[in-house]
Structure 1
Protein backbone atom coordinates (compact mmCIF):
# COMPACT_ATOMS: atom_id res chain seq x y z
CA UNK A 1 0.00 0.00 0.00
CA UNK A 2 1.26 3.46 -0.89
CA UNK A 3 2.60 5.49 2.02
CA UNK A 4 0.68 8.76 2.24
CA UNK A 5 1.48 10.13 5.69
CA UNK A 6 4.31 10.03 8.21
CA UNK A 7 3.38 10.09 11.89
CA UNK A 8 6.22 11.52 13.99
CA UNK A 9 6.20 10.30 17.59
CA UNK A 10 8.06 12.27 20.24
CA UNK A 11 8.11 12.65 23.99
CA UNK A 12 8.48 15.73 26.16
CA UNK A 13 12.05 16.56 27.09
CA UNK A 14 12.99 16.66 30.75
CA UNK A 15 13.10 20.45 30.55
CA UNK A 16 9.56 20.60 29.16
CA UNK A 17 8.31 18.30 31.92
CA UNK A 18 10.03 20.37 34.58
CA UNK A 19 8.59 23.60 33.18
CA UNK A 20 5.10 22.09 33.24
CA UNK A 21 5.62 21.01 36.83
CA UNK A 22 6.88 24.38 38.08
CA UNK A 23 4.88 26.58 35.66
CA UNK A 24 7.92 28.53 34.40
CA UNK A 25 11.45 27.74 33.30
CA UNK A 26 12.81 30.21 35.88
CA UNK A 27 11.07 28.42 38.73
CA UNK A 28 12.31 25.07 37.46
CA UNK A 29 15.87 26.44 37.35
CA UNK A 30 15.56 27.75 40.92
CA UNK A 31 14.36 24.36 42.19
CA UNK A 32 17.09 22.33 40.47
CA UNK A 33 19.95 24.69 41.32
CA UNK A 34 18.83 25.20 44.93
CA UNK A 35 18.97 21.42 45.28
CA UNK A 36 22.52 21.37 43.94
CA UNK A 37 21.63 20.13 40.48
CA UNK A 38 23.01 21.21 37.10
CA UNK A 39 20.14 22.92 35.27
CA UNK A 40 22.33 23.60 32.25
CA UNK A 41 22.34 19.87 31.51
CA UNK A 42 18.56 19.98 31.09
CA UNK A 43 18.88 22.97 28.77
CA UNK A 44 21.63 21.37 26.66
CA UNK A 45 19.66 18.14 26.31
CA UNK A 46 16.51 20.03 25.31
CA UNK A 47 18.26 22.21 22.75
CA UNK A 48 19.98 19.22 21.15
CA UNK A 49 16.67 17.41 20.84
CA UNK A 50 14.99 20.47 19.31
CA UNK A 51 17.78 20.88 16.74
CA UNK A 52 17.50 17.24 15.75
CA UNK A 53 13.71 17.28 15.64
CA UNK A 54 13.63 20.37 13.42
CA UNK A 55 16.09 18.78 11.00
CA UNK A 56 14.06 15.56 10.90
CA UNK A 57 10.73 17.31 10.32
CA UNK A 58 12.25 19.57 7.66
CA UNK A 59 13.68 16.56 5.80
CA UNK A 60 10.44 14.63 5.98
CA UNK A 61 8.34 17.57 4.79
CA UNK A 62 10.24 17.63 1.50
CA UNK A 63 9.12 14.08 0.75
CA UNK A 64 5.90 13.26 2.57
CA UNK A 65 3.13 14.92 4.56
CA UNK A 66 3.51 14.45 8.28
CA UNK A 67 2.12 15.30 11.68
CA UNK A 68 3.39 15.04 15.26
CA UNK A 69 1.83 12.86 17.96
CA UNK A 70 3.04 13.05 21.56
CA UNK A 71 3.80 9.81 23.39
CA UNK A 72 0.92 10.28 25.84
CA UNK A 73 -1.61 10.03 22.99
CA UNK A 74 -0.13 6.94 21.32
CA UNK A 75 -2.30 4.34 23.15
CA UNK A 76 -5.47 5.98 21.80
CA UNK A 77 -4.14 6.91 18.35
CA UNK A 78 -5.38 4.80 15.43
CA UNK A 79 -2.61 4.20 12.90
CA UNK A 80 -3.46 3.54 9.26
CA UNK A 81 -1.84 1.06 6.86
CA UNK A 82 -0.80 3.97 4.64
CA UNK A 83 1.19 5.54 7.50
CA UNK A 84 4.91 5.51 8.10
CA UNK A 85 5.81 5.80 11.79
CA UNK A 86 8.87 7.89 12.66
CA UNK A 87 9.97 7.66 16.30
CA UNK A 88 12.34 10.35 17.60
CA UNK A 89 13.63 9.76 21.11
CA UNK A 90 15.09 7.15 23.41
CA UNK A 91 14.94 3.36 23.02
CA UNK A 92 11.99 3.09 25.39
CA UNK A 93 9.84 5.25 23.15
CA UNK A 94 10.21 2.69 20.33
CA UNK A 95 8.86 0.00 22.64
CA UNK A 96 5.99 2.27 23.74
CA UNK A 97 4.96 2.80 20.11
CA UNK A 98 5.59 -0.66 18.65
CA UNK A 99 2.72 -2.48 20.35
CA UNK A 100 0.22 -0.05 18.77
CA UNK A 101 1.83 -0.03 15.31
CA UNK A 102 -0.14 -2.90 13.74
CA UNK A 103 2.78 -4.11 11.57
CA UNK A 104 3.27 -0.60 10.15
CA UNK A 105 6.99 0.09 9.44
CA UNK A 106 8.78 2.05 12.16
CA UNK A 107 11.78 4.26 11.47
CA UNK A 108 13.47 4.91 14.82
CA UNK A 109 15.91 7.84 15.02
CA UNK A 110 18.48 8.63 17.70
CA UNK A 111 18.34 12.43 18.15
CA UNK A 112 21.24 12.58 20.62
CA UNK A 113 23.96 9.97 20.13
CA UNK A 114 25.99 11.30 23.07
CA UNK A 115 23.16 10.63 25.53
CA UNK A 116 21.11 7.71 24.18
CA UNK A 117 22.38 4.15 23.72
CA UNK A 118 20.31 3.60 20.58
CA UNK A 119 19.85 -0.18 20.86
CA UNK A 120 16.46 0.20 19.15
CA UNK A 121 17.41 3.30 17.15
CA UNK A 122 19.02 2.16 13.87
CA UNK A 123 18.98 5.63 12.28
CA UNK A 124 20.54 9.00 13.03
CA UNK A 125 19.53 12.51 12.00
CA UNK A 126 22.04 12.28 9.15
CA UNK A 127 20.91 9.03 7.52
CA UNK A 128 17.23 8.52 8.39
CA UNK A 129 16.02 9.69 4.96
CA UNK A 130 17.53 6.52 3.46
CA UNK A 131 15.07 4.59 5.57
CA UNK A 132 12.20 6.84 4.55
CA UNK A 133 12.93 6.41 0.84
CA UNK A 134 13.27 2.63 1.24
CA UNK A 135 9.82 2.37 2.84
CA UNK A 136 8.18 4.74 0.36
CA UNK A 137 9.67 2.67 -2.48
CA UNK A 138 8.62 -0.58 -0.76
CA UNK A 139 12.18 -1.88 -0.73
CA UNK A 140 13.30 -1.89 2.88
CA UNK A 141 15.04 -4.26 5.29
CA UNK A 142 13.49 -4.82 8.69
CA UNK A 143 13.89 -6.44 12.06
CA UNK A 144 10.85 -8.28 13.38
CA UNK A 145 10.28 -7.70 17.10
CA UNK A 146 8.22 -10.39 18.81
CA UNK A 147 5.84 -9.43 21.60
CA UNK A 148 5.15 -11.00 24.96
CA UNK A 149 1.48 -11.11 25.85
CA UNK A 150 -0.66 -11.42 28.95
CA UNK A 151 -4.14 -12.86 28.39
CA UNK A 152 -6.66 -12.75 31.24
CA UNK A 153 -9.39 -15.33 31.82
CA UNK A 154 -11.98 -12.71 30.77
CA UNK A 155 -10.29 -12.33 27.35
CA UNK A 156 -8.47 -9.02 27.92
CA UNK A 157 -4.97 -8.93 26.42
CA UNK A 158 -1.89 -6.75 26.82
CA UNK A 159 1.20 -6.82 24.58
CA UNK A 160 4.79 -5.93 25.43
CA UNK A 161 7.77 -5.24 23.19
CA UNK A 162 10.24 -5.07 26.10
CA UNK A 163 8.64 -6.44 29.23
CA UNK A 164 5.52 -7.13 31.23
CA UNK A 165 5.19 -6.36 34.92
CA UNK A 166 2.74 -8.40 36.97
CA UNK A 167 2.29 -7.15 40.52
CA UNK A 168 0.66 -4.52 42.68
CA UNK A 169 0.42 -0.75 42.21
CA UNK A 170 1.99 0.10 45.56
CA UNK A 171 4.97 -0.85 47.71
CA UNK A 172 3.00 -3.65 49.36
CA UNK A 173 3.77 -7.27 48.47
CA UNK A 174 2.07 -8.83 45.48
CA UNK A 175 0.29 -12.08 46.36
CA UNK A 176 -0.40 -14.65 43.65
CA UNK A 177 -0.24 -18.32 42.70
CA UNK A 178 2.25 -19.17 39.95
CA UNK A 179 2.29 -22.30 37.77
CA UNK A 180 5.06 -23.40 35.41
CA UNK A 181 5.37 -26.82 33.74
CA UNK A 182 2.89 -28.36 36.18
CA UNK A 183 4.64 -27.02 39.29
CA UNK A 184 2.64 -24.61 41.44
CA UNK A 185 3.63 -22.19 44.22
CA UNK A 186 2.11 -19.38 46.25
CA UNK A 187 4.22 -16.22 46.21
CA UNK A 188 4.67 -13.00 48.10
CA UNK A 189 7.02 -10.76 46.14
CA UNK A 190 7.61 -7.36 44.56
CA UNK A 191 6.12 -8.68 41.33
CA UNK A 192 7.25 -10.50 38.21
CA UNK A 193 9.14 -9.18 35.19
CA UNK A 194 8.69 -11.02 31.88
CA UNK A 195 11.15 -9.89 29.21
CA UNK A 196 11.48 -10.39 25.46
CA UNK A 197 14.82 -10.55 23.68
CA UNK A 198 14.33 -6.91 22.70
CA UNK A 199 13.85 -5.90 26.33
CA UNK A 200 16.51 -8.15 27.84
CA UNK A 201 19.08 -5.32 27.91
CA UNK A 202 16.68 -3.10 29.88
CA UNK A 203 14.72 -3.78 33.09
CA UNK A 204 15.67 -7.46 33.17
CA UNK A 205 19.38 -6.62 33.04
CA UNK A 206 18.98 -4.44 36.13
CA UNK A 207 17.82 -7.49 38.10
CA UNK A 208 20.99 -9.36 37.13
CA UNK A 209 23.05 -6.28 38.00
CA UNK A 210 21.45 -6.33 41.45
CA UNK A 211 22.31 -10.01 41.86
CA UNK A 212 25.87 -9.24 40.85
CA UNK A 213 26.17 -6.39 43.35
CA UNK A 214 24.74 -8.38 46.26
CA UNK A 215 26.52 -11.66 45.61
CA UNK A 216 29.83 -10.29 44.37
CA UNK A 217 29.57 -12.46 41.25
CA UNK A 218 31.09 -10.46 38.40
CA UNK A 219 29.08 -12.23 35.69
CA UNK A 220 25.78 -13.45 37.13
CA UNK A 221 24.84 -15.32 33.93
CA UNK A 222 22.77 -13.00 31.74
CA UNK A 223 20.22 -15.01 29.74
CA UNK A 224 20.95 -15.55 26.05
CA UNK A 225 17.58 -15.11 24.37
CA UNK A 226 16.47 -15.47 20.77
CA UNK A 227 13.39 -13.88 19.23
CA UNK A 228 11.18 -16.82 20.26
CA UNK A 229 12.25 -16.79 23.92
CA UNK A 230 10.90 -14.99 26.95
CA UNK A 231 12.59 -14.81 30.35
CA UNK A 232 10.83 -14.21 33.65
CA UNK A 233 12.24 -13.13 36.99
CA UNK A 234 10.45 -12.85 40.34
CA UNK A 235 11.52 -9.72 42.20
CA UNK A 236 12.39 -10.10 45.90
CA UNK A 237 10.45 -13.33 46.62
CA UNK A 238 9.67 -13.84 50.31
CA UNK A 239 9.76 -17.30 51.86
CA UNK A 240 7.38 -18.11 54.73
CA UNK A 241 5.18 -20.92 56.02
CA UNK A 242 2.60 -19.92 53.39
CA UNK A 243 4.82 -18.78 50.48
CA UNK A 244 7.55 -20.49 48.48
CA UNK A 245 10.55 -19.43 46.38
CA UNK A 246 11.23 -22.39 44.10
CA UNK A 247 9.96 -20.74 40.90
CA UNK A 248 11.96 -17.53 40.79
CA UNK A 249 13.00 -17.24 37.17
CA UNK A 250 13.65 -19.04 33.94
CA UNK A 251 13.22 -19.27 30.21
CA UNK A 252 9.86 -19.50 28.49
CA UNK A 253 10.43 -21.19 25.15
CA UNK A 254 7.99 -20.84 22.28
CA UNK A 255 4.82 -22.72 23.23
CA UNK A 256 5.47 -22.46 26.98
CA UNK A 257 3.03 -20.64 29.22
CA UNK A 258 3.41 -19.09 32.67
CA UNK A 259 0.10 -19.05 34.55
CA UNK A 260 -0.43 -16.53 37.36
CA UNK A 261 -3.55 -16.36 39.53
CA UNK A 262 -4.07 -13.15 41.49
CA UNK A 263 -4.58 -13.39 45.25
CA UNK A 264 -4.79 -9.61 45.66
CA UNK A 265 -8.19 -8.19 46.65
CA UNK A 266 -7.32 -4.82 45.09
CA UNK A 267 -4.53 -2.82 43.42
CA UNK A 268 -3.22 -5.77 41.42
CA UNK A 269 -2.28 -4.82 37.88
CA UNK A 270 -0.31 -5.75 34.78
CA UNK A 271 1.41 -3.13 32.63
CA UNK A 272 3.95 -3.22 29.83
CA UNK A 273 6.92 -1.25 28.52
CA UNK A 274 6.83 1.34 31.29
CA UNK A 275 3.38 2.73 30.45
CA UNK A 276 1.50 2.40 33.73
CA UNK A 277 -1.53 4.26 32.35
CA UNK A 278 -2.17 1.37 29.93
CA UNK A 279 -2.81 -1.58 32.22
CA UNK A 280 -4.99 -4.55 33.06
CA UNK A 281 -6.54 -4.85 36.49
CA UNK A 282 -5.32 -8.04 38.13
CA UNK A 283 -7.27 -8.66 41.31
CA UNK A 284 -8.61 -11.77 43.04
CA UNK A 285 -10.49 -13.95 40.57
CA UNK A 286 -8.24 -13.00 37.64
CA UNK A 287 -5.82 -15.45 36.05
CA UNK A 288 -3.22 -14.46 33.47
CA UNK A 289 -1.49 -16.62 30.88
CA UNK A 290 1.92 -15.20 29.95
CA UNK A 291 3.43 -16.35 26.66
CA UNK A 292 5.04 -15.33 23.38
CA UNK A 293 2.56 -13.58 21.10
CA UNK A 294 2.01 -14.34 17.45
CA UNK A 295 2.01 -10.59 16.81
CA UNK A 296 5.15 -8.61 16.01
CA UNK A 297 6.37 -5.12 15.15
CA UNK A 298 8.37 -4.08 12.08
CA UNK A 299 11.49 -2.01 12.78
CA UNK A 300 13.13 -0.63 9.62
CA UNK A 301 16.93 -1.10 9.58
Structure 2
Protein backbone atom coordinates (compact mmCIF):
# COMPACT_ATOMS: atom_id res chain seq x y z
CA UNK A 1 0.00 0.00 0.00
CA UNK A 2 1.49 3.33 -1.04
CA UNK A 3 1.80 6.21 1.38
CA UNK A 4 -0.50 9.20 1.12
CA UNK A 5 1.20 12.27 -0.32
CA UNK A 6 2.93 14.59 2.12
CA UNK A 7 2.42 18.32 1.79
CA UNK A 8 5.46 20.22 3.06
CA UNK A 9 4.63 23.83 3.87
CA UNK A 10 7.69 26.10 3.77
CA UNK A 11 7.49 29.52 5.41
CA UNK A 12 9.72 32.20 6.84
CA UNK A 13 9.69 34.03 10.16
CA UNK A 14 8.13 37.46 9.65
CA UNK A 15 9.73 40.77 10.53
CA UNK A 16 7.09 41.21 13.24
CA UNK A 17 8.03 37.89 14.85
CA UNK A 18 11.70 38.80 14.72
CA UNK A 19 10.97 42.13 16.44
CA UNK A 20 9.01 40.41 19.21
CA UNK A 21 11.78 37.86 19.71
CA UNK A 22 14.31 40.68 20.05
CA UNK A 23 12.32 43.16 22.15
CA UNK A 24 9.94 40.93 24.09
CA UNK A 25 6.66 42.82 23.70
CA UNK A 26 4.77 44.64 20.99
CA UNK A 27 5.06 47.88 22.98
CA UNK A 28 8.85 47.66 23.15
CA UNK A 29 9.03 46.79 19.44
CA UNK A 30 6.75 49.71 18.61
CA UNK A 31 8.94 52.10 20.62
CA UNK A 32 12.06 50.81 18.87
CA UNK A 33 10.57 51.35 15.42
CA UNK A 34 9.15 54.76 16.32
CA UNK A 35 12.62 55.90 17.45
CA UNK A 36 13.77 55.18 13.91
CA UNK A 37 10.88 56.85 12.14
CA UNK A 38 8.94 53.67 11.37
CA UNK A 39 5.49 52.46 12.34
CA UNK A 40 4.71 48.98 13.60
CA UNK A 41 1.34 49.04 11.84
CA UNK A 42 2.65 48.03 8.40
CA UNK A 43 4.89 45.38 9.91
CA UNK A 44 2.00 43.90 11.89
CA UNK A 45 -0.32 44.00 8.87
CA UNK A 46 2.19 42.05 6.75
CA UNK A 47 2.54 39.53 9.57
CA UNK A 48 -1.24 39.04 9.71
CA UNK A 49 -1.44 38.55 5.95
CA UNK A 50 1.34 35.97 6.07
CA UNK A 51 -0.26 34.12 9.01
CA UNK A 52 -3.65 34.09 7.26
CA UNK A 53 -2.10 32.74 4.05
CA UNK A 54 -0.33 29.95 5.95
CA UNK A 55 -3.55 29.05 7.79
CA UNK A 56 -5.57 29.02 4.55
CA UNK A 57 -3.04 26.82 2.77
CA UNK A 58 -2.84 24.40 5.72
CA UNK A 59 -6.63 24.16 5.76
CA UNK A 60 -6.66 23.31 2.04
CA UNK A 61 -4.45 20.22 2.47
CA UNK A 62 -6.63 17.07 2.12
CA UNK A 63 -7.36 15.43 5.47
CA UNK A 64 -5.97 12.06 4.36
CA UNK A 65 -2.57 13.53 3.51
CA UNK A 66 0.45 13.77 5.73
CA UNK A 67 1.72 17.24 6.59
CA UNK A 68 4.95 18.88 7.62
CA UNK A 69 6.11 22.45 8.15
CA UNK A 70 9.61 23.83 7.88
CA UNK A 71 10.95 27.31 8.54
CA UNK A 72 13.58 28.79 6.23
CA UNK A 73 16.41 28.56 8.77
CA UNK A 74 15.77 24.81 9.19
CA UNK A 75 15.80 23.90 5.49
CA UNK A 76 19.35 22.54 5.58
CA UNK A 77 18.30 20.09 8.31
CA UNK A 78 15.00 18.97 6.81
CA UNK A 79 14.75 15.75 4.79
CA UNK A 80 12.45 16.04 1.78
CA UNK A 81 11.00 12.79 0.45
CA UNK A 82 10.45 11.83 -3.21
CA UNK A 83 6.66 11.78 -2.72
CA UNK A 84 6.50 15.28 -1.21
CA UNK A 85 4.54 18.15 -2.70
CA UNK A 86 6.20 21.36 -1.58
CA UNK A 87 4.16 24.48 -0.91
CA UNK A 88 6.23 27.62 -0.44
CA UNK A 89 4.22 30.36 1.27
CA UNK A 90 6.01 33.69 1.15
CA UNK A 91 8.28 35.64 -1.18
CA UNK A 92 9.96 34.70 -4.44
CA UNK A 93 13.29 34.35 -2.67
CA UNK A 94 11.90 31.65 -0.39
CA UNK A 95 11.27 29.44 -3.43
CA UNK A 96 14.93 29.86 -4.42
CA UNK A 97 16.05 29.09 -0.85
CA UNK A 98 14.01 25.88 -0.94
CA UNK A 99 14.95 24.73 -4.45
CA UNK A 100 18.51 23.75 -3.58
CA UNK A 101 17.25 21.04 -1.19
CA UNK A 102 14.88 19.39 -3.67
CA UNK A 103 15.33 16.68 -6.28
CA UNK A 104 12.42 17.03 -8.66
CA UNK A 105 9.50 17.37 -6.23
CA UNK A 106 6.69 19.63 -7.54
CA UNK A 107 6.62 23.10 -6.00
CA UNK A 108 3.66 25.44 -5.55
CA UNK A 109 4.54 29.09 -4.88
CA UNK A 110 1.93 30.99 -2.82
CA UNK A 111 2.19 34.78 -2.63
CA UNK A 112 1.40 36.14 0.85
CA UNK A 113 1.57 39.79 -0.15
CA UNK A 114 0.42 40.38 -3.77
CA UNK A 115 1.61 43.69 -5.13
CA UNK A 116 4.59 43.80 -2.80
CA UNK A 117 6.27 40.66 -4.14
CA UNK A 118 7.15 40.48 -7.86
CA UNK A 119 5.42 37.10 -8.03
CA UNK A 120 7.94 35.58 -10.45
CA UNK A 121 8.10 32.32 -8.46
CA UNK A 122 5.15 32.70 -6.06
CA UNK A 123 2.52 32.80 -8.79
CA UNK A 124 -0.59 31.67 -6.93
CA UNK A 125 -2.96 32.82 -4.19
CA UNK A 126 -3.87 30.86 -1.03
CA UNK A 127 -7.31 30.09 -2.51
CA UNK A 128 -5.60 28.14 -5.32
CA UNK A 129 -3.74 25.78 -2.96
CA UNK A 130 -6.34 23.02 -2.67
CA UNK A 131 -6.85 22.67 -6.41
CA UNK A 132 -3.12 22.69 -7.12
CA UNK A 133 -2.32 20.15 -4.41
CA UNK A 134 -4.90 17.67 -5.67
CA UNK A 135 -3.73 18.12 -9.25
CA UNK A 136 -0.08 17.70 -8.24
CA UNK A 137 -0.87 14.40 -6.54
CA UNK A 138 -2.27 13.16 -9.84
CA UNK A 139 0.73 14.54 -11.76
CA UNK A 140 -1.79 16.59 -13.70
CA UNK A 141 -0.79 20.28 -13.69
CA UNK A 142 1.74 21.74 -16.08
CA UNK A 143 5.12 22.47 -14.54
CA UNK A 144 7.92 24.72 -15.72
CA UNK A 145 11.36 23.12 -15.48
CA UNK A 146 13.61 25.93 -14.26
CA UNK A 147 17.34 25.50 -14.87
CA UNK A 148 19.59 25.33 -11.82
CA UNK A 149 23.33 25.85 -11.41
CA UNK A 150 25.63 23.50 -9.50
CA UNK A 151 29.13 23.65 -8.05
CA UNK A 152 31.04 20.43 -7.41
CA UNK A 153 34.36 20.45 -5.55
CA UNK A 154 37.20 17.99 -6.07
CA UNK A 155 36.41 16.44 -2.66
CA UNK A 156 32.81 15.69 -3.87
CA UNK A 157 31.15 18.54 -1.95
CA UNK A 158 28.18 19.70 -4.05
CA UNK A 159 25.90 22.70 -3.97
CA UNK A 160 23.01 23.68 -6.26
CA UNK A 161 21.10 26.95 -6.59
CA UNK A 162 18.17 28.35 -8.52
CA UNK A 163 19.36 31.95 -8.99
CA UNK A 164 23.12 32.02 -8.70
CA UNK A 165 26.21 30.63 -7.01
CA UNK A 166 28.82 32.92 -5.47
CA UNK A 167 32.47 31.89 -5.21
CA UNK A 168 34.71 34.23 -3.26
CA UNK A 169 36.13 35.41 0.05
CA UNK A 170 34.27 35.41 3.36
CA UNK A 171 34.91 39.15 3.67
CA UNK A 172 35.34 42.07 1.26
CA UNK A 173 39.00 41.21 0.76
CA UNK A 174 40.50 39.89 -2.48
CA UNK A 175 40.75 36.18 -3.19
CA UNK A 176 43.24 34.57 -5.60
CA UNK A 177 42.47 31.65 -7.89
CA UNK A 178 42.91 30.29 -11.40
CA UNK A 179 39.93 30.24 -13.74
CA UNK A 180 39.26 28.66 -17.11
CA UNK A 181 37.02 26.31 -19.11
CA UNK A 182 36.67 22.80 -17.74
CA UNK A 183 38.18 21.02 -20.71
CA UNK A 184 41.50 19.41 -21.58
CA UNK A 185 44.14 21.72 -23.00
CA UNK A 186 42.50 24.95 -21.78
CA UNK A 187 45.05 27.10 -19.95
CA UNK A 188 43.60 28.81 -16.85
CA UNK A 189 44.19 32.47 -16.01
CA UNK A 190 45.48 33.61 -12.62
CA UNK A 191 43.13 36.20 -11.15
CA UNK A 192 42.56 38.27 -8.03
CA UNK A 193 39.03 39.55 -7.41
CA UNK A 194 36.22 39.88 -4.90
CA UNK A 195 34.53 36.79 -6.30
CA UNK A 196 32.67 35.13 -9.16
CA UNK A 197 28.93 34.90 -9.84
CA UNK A 198 27.49 32.05 -11.96
CA UNK A 199 23.77 32.58 -12.58
CA UNK A 200 20.70 31.15 -14.28
CA UNK A 201 17.82 32.64 -16.22
CA UNK A 202 15.78 32.83 -13.01
CA UNK A 203 18.63 34.78 -11.43
CA UNK A 204 18.67 37.11 -14.45
CA UNK A 205 16.10 39.29 -12.66
CA UNK A 206 18.36 39.84 -9.65
CA UNK A 207 22.07 39.86 -8.83
CA UNK A 208 23.11 38.52 -12.23
CA UNK A 209 21.16 41.26 -14.00
CA UNK A 210 22.78 43.99 -11.91
CA UNK A 211 26.23 42.78 -12.96
CA UNK A 212 25.08 42.48 -16.56
CA UNK A 213 23.80 46.07 -16.55
CA UNK A 214 26.87 47.41 -14.76
CA UNK A 215 29.18 45.89 -17.37
CA UNK A 216 27.02 46.91 -20.31
CA UNK A 217 27.38 43.28 -21.33
CA UNK A 218 26.46 42.20 -24.86
CA UNK A 219 25.89 38.62 -23.68
CA UNK A 220 22.23 37.61 -23.96
CA UNK A 221 20.56 36.92 -20.62
CA UNK A 222 19.11 33.38 -20.50
CA UNK A 223 15.43 32.66 -19.90
CA UNK A 224 14.48 30.72 -16.73
CA UNK A 225 13.96 27.38 -18.51
CA UNK A 226 16.91 27.77 -20.90
CA UNK A 227 19.83 25.46 -20.22
CA UNK A 228 22.40 28.24 -20.32
CA UNK A 229 24.28 30.13 -17.60
CA UNK A 230 26.10 33.45 -17.42
CA UNK A 231 29.11 34.12 -15.25
CA UNK A 232 30.89 37.31 -14.21
CA UNK A 233 34.06 38.02 -12.26
CA UNK A 234 33.59 40.88 -9.79
CA UNK A 235 36.30 43.56 -9.79
CA UNK A 236 39.10 41.54 -11.37
CA UNK A 237 42.44 43.16 -10.49
CA UNK A 238 45.13 43.52 -13.20
CA UNK A 239 48.72 43.07 -12.06
CA UNK A 240 51.97 41.49 -13.31
CA UNK A 241 50.79 38.21 -11.80
CA UNK A 242 47.03 38.36 -12.45
CA UNK A 243 44.88 39.01 -15.52
CA UNK A 244 41.41 40.16 -16.46
CA UNK A 245 40.82 38.57 -19.86
CA UNK A 246 38.36 36.02 -18.48
CA UNK A 247 35.86 38.23 -16.70
CA UNK A 248 32.57 37.00 -18.19
CA UNK A 249 31.12 34.23 -20.30
CA UNK A 250 28.36 31.73 -20.93
CA UNK A 251 28.00 28.03 -20.15
CA UNK A 252 25.65 25.73 -22.02
CA UNK A 253 25.12 22.01 -22.29
CA UNK A 254 27.94 20.11 -20.60
CA UNK A 255 30.30 23.11 -20.48
CA UNK A 256 31.80 23.96 -17.12
CA UNK A 257 33.91 26.62 -15.44
CA UNK A 258 36.92 25.40 -13.45
CA UNK A 259 38.23 27.44 -10.50
CA UNK A 260 41.37 26.43 -8.55
CA UNK A 261 41.93 28.14 -5.19
CA UNK A 262 45.20 29.99 -4.51
CA UNK A 263 44.21 31.60 -1.19
CA UNK A 264 43.71 30.47 2.39
CA UNK A 265 39.95 30.13 2.03
CA UNK A 266 37.24 30.50 -0.57
CA UNK A 267 33.54 29.94 0.16
CA UNK A 268 30.76 28.90 -2.18
CA UNK A 269 27.09 29.52 -1.44
CA UNK A 270 23.88 29.70 -3.42
CA UNK A 271 20.92 32.09 -3.42
CA UNK A 272 22.15 34.07 -0.43
CA UNK A 273 22.22 31.08 1.95
CA UNK A 274 25.61 31.90 3.50
CA UNK A 275 24.93 29.62 6.46
CA UNK A 276 25.00 26.61 4.11
CA UNK A 277 28.25 27.07 2.21
CA UNK A 278 31.14 25.00 0.90
CA UNK A 279 34.62 25.92 2.09
CA UNK A 280 37.70 25.39 -0.10
CA UNK A 281 41.39 26.06 0.56
CA UNK A 282 44.76 26.11 -1.21
CA UNK A 283 44.97 23.81 -4.23
CA UNK A 284 41.37 22.67 -4.20
CA UNK A 285 39.33 23.07 -7.36
CA UNK A 286 35.66 23.43 -8.17
CA UNK A 287 33.58 23.02 -11.31
CA UNK A 288 30.48 25.17 -11.93
CA UNK A 289 27.94 24.27 -14.58
CA UNK A 290 24.32 23.38 -15.33
CA UNK A 291 22.76 21.03 -12.80
CA UNK A 292 20.99 17.84 -13.84
CA UNK A 293 18.33 18.80 -11.27
CA UNK A 294 15.69 21.35 -12.29
CA UNK A 295 13.01 23.06 -10.21
CA UNK A 296 9.52 21.78 -11.11
CA UNK A 297 7.44 24.90 -10.51
CA UNK A 298 3.72 24.34 -11.03
CA UNK A 299 2.15 26.74 -13.49
TM-score calculated relative to the size of structure 2: 0.91
CA distance in 1, matches of 2:199, 2:22: 32
The 3-state SS of whatever aligns with 1:18 is helix
2:297 maps to what in 1?
299
- Distance change (3 Å), C-alpha of 1:187 and 1:38: farther
The residue number in structure 1 matching 2:136 is 135
Spell out the pairing of 1:80-159 with structure 2 (5 A cutoff): 80-159=81-160
Q: Which residue of 1 aligns with 2:222?
A: 225
Contact 2:180 2:257 in 1 (8 A): yes
Distance 1:16 1:222, change over 3 A: farther
Q: Aligned pair in 2 of structure 1 residues 9, 263: CA closer, same or farther (>3 Å)?
A: same
- Pair 1:168-2:169 in alignment: yes
Determine if the alignment matches structure 1 residue 185 to structure 2 residue 189: yes
1:258-294 deviation digits (Å, cap 9, x = unpaired): 111111113x200011111111102212100111121
Pairs aligned (count): 293
2:180 and 2:188 in contact (8 A); partners too? yes
CA contact under 8 A between 1:7 and 1:68: conserved in structure 2?
Answer: yes
The match for 1:262 is: 261
Tell me the equivalent position of 1:234.
Answer: 233
**Superposition deviation, residue 297 in structure 1:** 2.4
Cα offsets for 1:99-145 (capped at 9, x unmatched)? 21221111111111121111112211222322112112231211112
CA distance in 2, matches of 1:68, 1:190: 37
Q: Calculate the aligned-residue CA RMSD, in Å.
A: 2.0
* Structure 1, unpaired ranges of 5+: 213-219
Contact map agreement 2:168 2:196 (CA 8 A) in 1: yes
Alpha-carbon deviation of 1:56? 1.4
Cα offset, 1:46, TM superposition: 1.1
Residues 123 and 249 of structure 1: CA distance in aligned 2, closer, same or farther (over 3 Å): same
The 5 A counterparts of 1:30-41 are 30-41=31-42
Evaluate the alpha carbon distance shift between residue 210 and residue 139 of structure 1 in structure 2; reply closer, same or farther with a 3 A threshold.
same
Gaps of 5+ in 2: none
Aligned-pair CA distance for 1:25: 3.1
Residue among 265, 279, 282 paired with 1:281: 279
Decide whether aligned partners of structure 1 residues 3 and 193 sit closer, same or farther in structure 2, where only a CA change above 3 A counts: farther
Distance 1:108 1:139 in 2: 17
SS of equivalent residue, structure 1 residue 134: helix
CA contact (8 A) 1:79 1:101 kept: yes
Q: Secondary structure at the match of 2:243?
A: coil
Query: Does the residue aligned with 2:292 lie in a helix, a strand or coil?
Result: strand
Describe how 1:11-50 pairs up with structure 2 within 5 A: 11-50=12-51
